[in-house]
Amino acid sequence: MRTRRGFTLIELLVTIAIVALLVSIAMPSYRRYVMASNRAEAWAALLQVQSGEEKFYMQNSAYTTDLTDPPGQGGLGIALTGSGGALYTANNNYAISIATAACNPAAAAVCGYTATATAANNQVNDNAACLTFTIDSLGQRTPADSTGCWR
């Protein structure tokens, strides 16, 4: 008698079931890793804004809300995409905005800012605590470091 070589249908189905189980375990971990790695895009943009604002303040004694115009034309010159008031990071994972504040209600000089990166597109599926990042003129940032979002 000759023995047949090859796989039986049962062996093939068991192999497919094992692979499906491994994929079902690995995919959520992979997605969490991708979401966490995309946060670096928000951090980089906010740190660029912070650096640009401090440079702008040294030259003009005020902060600006213009993120995209070149520095000599009153802006920070940060590379962001989008139009119609919505500016996004390079991969469109975060919308970037900035707000300035006067020193006091009687003074016209702008002496503070808060830059915000808000999750957009696929990044909205990230951890709820990590959907919005802010950094202000005092260097304070949210969410708190204890959430792990800034790591």
pLDDT at 21: 93
| Amino acid at residue number 123 | Q
8-20 mean pLDDT: 92
Six-digit token string for 63 = 């902060």
Q: What is the mean pLDDT of the chain?
A: 82
Burial class of 127 by CB neighbour count within 10 A (0 to 12, 13 to 18, 19+): middle
Q: List Cα–Cα distances, 71 to 31, 52, 84, 118, 122, in angstroms.
A: 38, 8, 21, 24, 32
Q: What is the pLDDT of residues 71-101, one digit of tens each?
A: 666 677 777 777 656 788 888 889 988 888 8
